[in-house]
């Protein structure tokens, strides 16, 4: 009994540690006082100011545009490559897998500075496009790693049967193979999307003047002193993430049932 | 059917955007520097030699030390947590694990910023202690190594709990029961059965915490306030402020070699079917 209580208390403490900072930011986002010292009444002022701030809105737009585009492109390239890698001879497979693990294992900061060096060497204009290229680069391996196990469990005769029955390779892929590996593709795509949303390092080093993502914007805002607008932003993001999470969970439950 | 040609787009992409950049960095790290900081393609060891100076070795030592401390703390706090979660009922288990992953989905920078607010001189922790009369003036909680370590543990602890949990959840309960039937105490069961069997997860967790911890520059920048300079800060500074790309590249190369060494050592303790995220 005592043991159980200790376990409960311990778990509670760890969860408190995880969530306390987030809840405090949410609380402060409704605080009227500019100096976070004391509570001086409920307000929605910071939310209004947040949406009046053009640079923040632009950063939000960039973040989501890059996340959606990079996840989409990475999912397409990753799925196609996973199919190709799956059919390779063991030696080629090894080579490709090592290359795939490279961005996964490399520290983000090294990916960031090495891409910066590449883009500068190619005399490319740093900005939205270079960030997008960077994000596709570190996203694609995660899609491959999510799709490969599904291909391994796929019955190879299914595709052959479709081809024997007169389907073109394209039809066989879209009507037989793709539906079977879809869970892996979706997982990979979602993973890519969230990784891109959360990224700071690669965006920070591959961006040019004036192009911000949310992470870069928050970073520069902390340099200028903390603003309650960031609290409002965190609250909105947390609610967004929470609802996305609940949505995905209920979807998963439905599938299982 | 051969589908090898399907791999061509990815092969090209990886060649240009994963491999070529690393080759460029490797080349730059051996290049000379013109008085104005331009890259001259003349072989030199200068940048690696420069790193051997005491100030830079100190930075390396501090980075390794802080990363190791946060990895150990993550393990000590995270392992019992993973055990508690894995022992819960199936339904509870999923919810508890979800709650652990959820913070990972919120922006990394905002999570670190939250600690900046918490630890400030006028922050809630100091306010609380002041109003309770425990302290007379605000404690300096922010901008020191302790704050940086705390930030690392906070941000990276899910990476420890996740792999350890996935190994523990898959473990055969019968083994523990058998050990108990044969007269082992619970300490013995833990040391001789649970711990050795969970090693693959522990090793995965150590790698996944140590790597981002040793290479971070955001946490040390925001919570260390420029007082705690780590390898990441040094690289960032060389690339964006000092404009000494050659030296920055050399530091990156050294960091990569260190990580490769750390991974080879730890992979020796890892069996084939490790407890990764996958």
Q: Could you report the per-residue pLDDT of B219-270, keeping only the tens digit for each?
A: 998 898 877 889 999 999 999 888 899 999 999 999 998 888 887 887 776 6
Say how far residue A119 (Cα) sits from the centre of its chain.
Answer: 23
Are the C-beta atoms of residues A154 and A136 closer than 8 Å to each other?
Answer: no
Question: With an 8 Å Cβ cutoff, are B259 and A107 in contact?
Answer: yes
What pLDDT shows up at residue B143? Answer: 87
Q: Confirm or reject contact between B154 and chain A (CB < 8 A).
A: yes
Indicate if A89 and A182 belong to the same structural domain. yes
Of the listed ranges A34-48, B7-21, B122-136, B255-269, the one predicted with least confidence: A34-48
What pLDDT shows up at residue A254? Answer: 65
Question: With an 8 Å Cβ cutoff, are B110 and A233 in contact?
Answer: yes
Best probe of the B interface among A3, A93, A222, A229, by most B CBs < 10 A, is A222
Report the gap between the CA of B51 and the closest CA in chain A (Å).
Answer: 17
Topology of the domain covering B45-171+197-268: MetI-like fold (1.10.3720)
Question: With an 8 Å Cβ cutoff, are A226 and B211 in contact?
Answer: no
Task: Quickly list DSSP for A24-84.
Answer: HHHHHTTB--SSTTS---B--HHHHHHHH-HHHHHHHHHHHHHHHHHHHHHHHHHHHHHHH
Indicate if A5 and A59 belong to the same structural domain. no
User: pLDDT tens for residues B28-49?
Assistant: 999 988 877 788 888 888 889 9
Of the listed ranges A32-41, A95-104, A242-251, B75-84, the one predicted with least confidence: A32-41
Whether residue A46 is contained in a domain is answered as: no
Say how far residue B12 (Cα) sits from the centre of its chain.
Answer: 30
Indicate if A20 and A77 belong to the same structural domain. no
In angstroms, rounded to a whole number, what is the distance separating the alpha carbons of residues A211 and A127?
Answer: 6
Are the C-beta atoms of residues B151 and B112 closer than 8 Å to each other?
Answer: yes
In angstroms, rounded to a whole number, what is the distance separating the alpha carbons of residues B249 and B218?
Answer: 19
What pLDDT shows up at residue A226? Answer: 66
Closest by Cα among B191, B122, B87, B171 to A3: B87
Q: What is the CATH number of the domain that holds A175?
A: 1.10.3720.10
Average pLDDT score over chain A: 87
What pLDDT shows up at residue B213? Answer: 92
User: pLDDT tens for residues A149-172?
Assistant: 899 888 888 888 988 998 888 888
Best probe of the B interface among A117, A225, A248, A257, by most B CBs < 10 A, is A117
Closest by Cα among B105, B110, B74, B15 to A190: B105
What pLDDT shows up at residue A120? Answer: 93
Question: With an 8 Å Cβ cutoff, are A218 and B232 in contact?
Answer: no
**Chain A CB contacts of B20 below 8 Å:** 118
Average pLDDT over residues A79-94: 89
User: pLDDT tens for residues B187-225?
Assistant: 888 888 888 888 889 998 998 899 889 988 889 988 988
Whether residue A202 is contained in a domain is answered as: yes
Report the gap between the CA of B87 and the closest CA in chain A (Å).
Answer: 11
Whether residue A41 is contained in a domain is answered as: no
Element (H, E) at B42: strand B39-43
Interface predicted TM-score (ipTM) = 0.84
pLDDT at B277 over 50: no
Best probe of the A interface among B1, B5, B6, B138, by most A CBs < 10 A, is B6
Q: Confirm or reject contact between B214 and chain A (CB < 8 A).
A: yes
Domain span including residue A3: 1-31
In angstroms, rounded to a whole number, what is the distance separating the alpha carbons of residues A212 and A56?
Answer: 8
A28-35 contacts at long range (C-beta below 8 A, 24 or more positions apart)? A28/A228, A28/A231, A28/B117, A29/A228, A29/A231, A29/A232, A29/A234, A29/A235, A31/A228, A34/A228, A35/B122
Closest by Cα among A132, A246, A233 to A192: A132
**Chain B CB contacts of A11 below 8 Å:** 81, 84-85, 96
In angstroms, rounded to a whole number, what is the distance separating the alpha carbons of residues B110 and B90?
Answer: 32
Whether residue A175 is contained in a domain is answered as: yes
Q: How many domains is chain A partitioned into structurally?
A: 2
Indicate if A141 and A90 belong to the same structural domain. yes
Give the three-class secondary structure for B31.
strand
pLDDT interval class at B102 (50, 70, 90): confident
Say how far residue A189 (Cα) sits from the centre of its chain.
Answer: 9
Are the C-beta atoms of residues A46 and A29 closer than 8 Å to each other?
Answer: yes
Are the C-beta atoms of residues B139 and B126 closer than 8 Å to each other?
Answer: yes
What pLDDT shows up at residue B272? Answer: 46
């Amino acid at each position: 009994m005592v043991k159980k209580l200790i376990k409960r208390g311990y778990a509670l403490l760890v969860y408190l540690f995880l969530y306390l900072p987030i809840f405090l930011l949410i609380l402060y986002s409704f605080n009227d006082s500019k100096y976070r010292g004391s509570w001086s009444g409920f307000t929605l002022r910071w939310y209004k100011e947040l949406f009046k701030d053009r640079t923040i809105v632009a950063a939000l737009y960039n973040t989501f545009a890059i996340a959606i585009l990079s996840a989409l492109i990475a999912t397409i390239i990753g799925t196609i490559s996973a199919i190709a890698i799956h059919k390779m001879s063991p030696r080629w497979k090894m080579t490709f897998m090592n290359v795939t693990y490279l961005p996964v294992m490399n520290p983000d900061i090294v990916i960031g500075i090495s891409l910066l060096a590449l883009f500068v060497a190619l005399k490319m204009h740093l900005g939205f496009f270079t960030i997008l290229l960077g994000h596709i680069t570190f996203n694609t391996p995660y899609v491959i790693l999510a799709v490969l196990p599904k291909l391994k469990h796929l019955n190879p005769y299914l595709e052959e049967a479709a081809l024997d029955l007169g389907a073109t390779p394209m039809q066989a892929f879209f009507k037989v193979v793709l539906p079977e590996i879809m869970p892996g593709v979706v997982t990979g795509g979602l993973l890519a999307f969230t990784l891109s949303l959360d990224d700071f390092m690669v965006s920070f080093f591959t961006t040019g003047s004036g192009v911000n993502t949310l992470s870069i914007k928050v970073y520069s805002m902390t340099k200028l002193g903390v603003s309650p607008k960031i609290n409002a932003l965190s609250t909105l993001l947390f609610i967004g993430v929470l609802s996305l999470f609940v949505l995905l969970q209920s979807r998963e439950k439905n599938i299982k049932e | 059917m051969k589908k090898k040609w399907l791999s061509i787009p990815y092969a090209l992409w990886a060649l240009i955007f994963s491999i070529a950049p690393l080759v460029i960095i490797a080349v730059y790290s051996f290049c000379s520097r013109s008085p104005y900081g331009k890259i001259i393609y003349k072989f030199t060891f200068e940048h690696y030699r420069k790193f051997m100076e005491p100030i830079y070795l100190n930075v390396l030592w501090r980075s390794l030390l802080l990363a190791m401390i946060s990895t150990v703390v993550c393990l000590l706090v995270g392992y019992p947590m993973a055990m508690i979660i894995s022992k819960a009922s199936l339904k509870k288990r999923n919810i508890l694990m979800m709650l652990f992953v959820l913070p990972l989905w919120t922006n990394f920078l905002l999570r670190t910023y939250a600690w900046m607010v918490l630890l400030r001189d006028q922050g809630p922790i100091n306010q609380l202690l002041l109003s309770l009369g425990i302290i007379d003036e605000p404690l300096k909680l922010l901008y020191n190594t302790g704050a940086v370590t705390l930030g690392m543990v906070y941000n990276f602890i899910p990476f420890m709990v996740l792999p350890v949990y996935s190994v523990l959840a898959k473990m055969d309960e019968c083994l523990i029961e058998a050990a108990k039937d044969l007269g082992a105490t619970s300490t013995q069961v833990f040391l001789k059965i649970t711990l050795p069997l969970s090693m693959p997860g522990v090793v995965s967790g150590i790698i996944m915490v140590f790597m981002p911890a040793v290479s971070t520059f955001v946490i040390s920048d925001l919570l260390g306030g420029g007082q705690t300079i780590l390898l990441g800060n040094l690289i960032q500074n060389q690339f964006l402020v000092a404009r000494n790309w050659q030296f920055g590249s050399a530091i990156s190369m050294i960091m990569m070699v260190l990580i490769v060494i750390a991974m080879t050592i730890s992979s020796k303790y890892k069996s084939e079917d490790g407890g990764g995220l996958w």
